[in-house]
Structures are given as C-alpha cells and as structure tokens.
Amino acid sequence: MQRAFLLHCLLPGTAALLLAQAHPSIHQLQAEDHFHKPAPPVEVTPVRLGLEVLLSDSIDLIRGKRLALVTNQTGRDHQGRPNYQLLLSLPDVELKVIFSPEHGLLGEAAAGESVRYGDKFQTLPPVISLYGDVRKPTPDMLRDVDLILYDIQDIGARFYTYISTLGLVLEAAGEQQIPVLVLDRPDPLTGIRIGGPRLDPDYRSFVGFYPLPIQYGLTVG
C-alpha cells in the first residue's frame, strides 16, 4: 500500500490502475469466468424452402403442368442444386421457359445492365431476360404456360428490383388468366425490423414499385 500511495502522489490516477491489475474485482473475475465458459447449446430449427416444400409435399400442384420459372442464381435447394435442374428432372412436368430478373440468370450482370440471352443456354429451355428489351412477359411468351413459378431469394429491401419483376409478372399472368406460385424464402434481415420512409406512389418506378418502407420486413410470399 505504501508503494501505491507514493505512486498516487507522484502520478495521480495511476495507483488505482496498478491496484486493479494486481487485485481484480469480483466483477472482473465473473466476466473472465463468463468468457471462458463454453456457450450453451443452441436449438436449431430446420428451415424448409418453398422450393423444397413444393417438390416434397406439394408436387401435385405442378404435376402434368407446363411451367414458366422466374429465377436467378439464388434459386437453389439446401444441396445447392438449381431449381430448373430439379424441375427438368421430373418426368411429368414440362418446363417451357425461364425468365431472369435484373443481374441475369447467373447473377453475372452489373446493376442496371441490360441483359439479352438469345440461344446462349443450349441445354435449357428458352431463357428470356426481363431486364432487357422487355420487362413484362408478353402473351406470346406465356402462350403454352399453365403455371408460373417464382423462386428468388430477396432481402426485404424496396429498391431490390426482384419484387418489381414479380409485380409485372403478376400483371401479365392476370391478363392471361395464368396462376402464379411464389416459392418463398426467409428474409435474412428478419421480419422484426421495419425502417425508412414509405414510398410516395407519385414516385413509383422500377426501383420503387410498391408503396413500402425501404426495409419492409417481409418475405416475397
């Protein structure tokens, strides 16, 4: 104590620090004990994607149907298999056309970059970009389609244009009396937080298609 007192006289503020280092408080000991304890086990609840629910539990919804698929590189199951490959492997389902949103089917295009495919994908059904010359499917594109599937991972942000593409697909489907099935996926930003101003409908555009807040806290479905 004498040494600490002298240090305090010579260097104000240092003695308490030295004593604390030499004799940690009960709170410090409890904190160290807490950090060295193994974390308690966390109960994990499996999440089944809409794609997986469809193929395992609700296959009758697409059996015998001619399908259009709206998707991109995120449309995969837990094993990383693309949705179009899974659909093409089904004997009683016919995948007629694949529509891709902004950034393309493989996520290869930059934001705002127009995408055109032509006959690029030789082993797939026709792939049509909805972020090029056309953003809304035409009646001719949907001529032989019984059902439209939508399967894209989103993050619940208004300016992500995937929901804008979905909106135009819904309009086209309604005009042609074709049902649309959204294969839902979890919102990685969670459904708890909602943030930002709501879009004024007067400023509706392709990057603001719905009157939603910036972070709307919902999944696409």
CA dist 48 and 53 (Å) reads 6
Q: Taking the CB of residue 38, how many other CB atoms lie within 10 A of it? A: 5
Domain range annotation of the chain: 50-188+198-203
Helix, coil or strand: residue 83: helix
What pLDDT score was predicted for residue 14?
44
Token pair belonging to 27 = 């709170």
CA dist 25 and 17 (Å) reads 12
Q: What average pLDDT does the segment 141-146 reach? A: 98
**Distance from CA of residue 35 to its chain's centroid?**
34
* Residue 30: its H or E element: helix 26-36
Q: Taking the CB of residue 147, how many other CB atoms lie within 10 A of it? A: 17
Alpha carbon distance, N-terminus to C-terminus of the chain:
69
What pLDDT score was predicted for residue 41?
80
Tens digits of residue pLDDT in 134-143 = 999 999 999 9
CATH of 50-188+198-203, one of 3.40.50.1580, 3.40.30.10, 3.40.50.12170, 3.30.43.10: 3.40.50.12170
Token pair belonging to 136 = 């809304």
Given a cut of 60, is residue 17 above it in pLDDT? Answer: no
Q: What average pLDDT does the segment 144-169 reach? A: 97
Residue 186: Cβ-neighbour burial (10 angstroms; 0-12, 13-18, 19+): middle
Instruction: Give percent of the chain with pLDDT exceeding 90.
Output: 70
Given a cut of 90, is residue 15 above it in pLDDT? Answer: no
Q: Taking the CB of residue 30, how many other CB atoms lie within 10 A of it? A: 11
What pLDDT score was predicted for residue 23?
53
